């Protein structure tokens, strides 16, 4: 599918409050076919998410430790996860230490997911993901671990106010750029 057709379809799914505010752009030059391309999503004429085949300007995490120590990422721990740590420890462990161990395990898992998700942000991948988004349900896109699918689903008109409000806990575990688009969508409610 050509870029103009893909862009037109994606923008037709934008919620009315974001129509004209959120734009998908992919400047390309025919005489530079072998050069890596760029693609970006802009909000209010400002580039928020740059995807390039070379690099991206969003915050890139380099290590798992950097993600674990980021104060903006809050990892909630459930009672079941604490009980799983208690069973795995096979001995008396203080309650507060169980919470720390469970949070550490969960943040390690979360860090690995973030690193793998941000490794795939490029123009060529955006086109693949956008085509995938158009052929899958909104529910699958929201539940996905893919950053781009999450963003496309959050700005979709088919996602209602009630669902947006109910996603607040899930969004705490998502990449910061997904959280940014979530807040943008919540501001339109």
Q: Residue by residue, what is the 3-state secondary structure of 145-174?
A: CCHHHHHHHHCECCCCHHHHHHCHHHHCCC
pTM to 2 decimal places? 0.66
Span 150-177, average pLDDT? 90
Same domain? 99 vs 130: no
Query: Is 34's pLDDT higher than 60?
Result: no
What three-state secondary structure class fits 14? strand
Same domain? 83 vs 140: no
Q: Which pLDDT band holds residue 164 (cuts at 50, 70, 90)?
A: very high
Q: What is the pLDDT of residues 81-105, one digit of tens each?
A: 988 998 988 878 898 899 888 988 8
- Which position has the higher pLDDT, 137 or 91? 137
Same domain? 126 vs 169: yes
Same domain? 180 vs 127: yes
Same domain? 30 vs 46: yes
| Lookup: tokens for 33 | 């076919």
Domain count, the chain: 2
- Which position has the higher pLDDT, 45 or 52? 45
Where residue 180 falls (left for φ over 0; alpha for ψ -120 to 50; beta otherwise) is: alpha
Span 37-50, average pLDDT? 82
Same domain? 143 vs 93: no
Q: Give residue 31's domain range.
A: 3-58+121-186
Query: Is 157's pLDDT higher than 80?
Result: yes
């Amino acid at each position: 599918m050509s870029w103009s057709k893909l862009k037109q379809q994606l923008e037709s799914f934008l919620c009315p409050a974001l129509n004209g505010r959120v734009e998908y752009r992919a400047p390309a030059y025919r005489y530079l076919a072998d050069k890596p391309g760029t693609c970006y999503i802009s909000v209010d004429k400002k580039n928020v998410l740059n995807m390039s085949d070379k690099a991206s300007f969003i915050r890139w995490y380099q290590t798992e430790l950097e993600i674990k120590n980021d104060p903006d990422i809050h990892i909630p721990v459930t009672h079941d996860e604490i009980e799983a740590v208690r069973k795995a420890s096979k001995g008396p462990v203080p309650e507060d230490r169980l919470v720390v161990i469970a949070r550490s395990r969960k943040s390690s898992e979360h860090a690995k997911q973030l690193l793998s998700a941000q490794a795939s942000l490029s123009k060529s991948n955006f086109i693949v993901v956008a085509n995938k988004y158009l052929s899958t349900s909104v529910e699958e896109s929201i539940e996905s671990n893919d950053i781009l699918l999450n963003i496309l689903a959050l700005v979709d008109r088919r996602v209602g106010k009630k669902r947006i409000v109910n996603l607040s806990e899930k969004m705490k575990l998502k990449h910061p750029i997904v959280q940014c688009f979530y807040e943008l969508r919540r501001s339109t409610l």
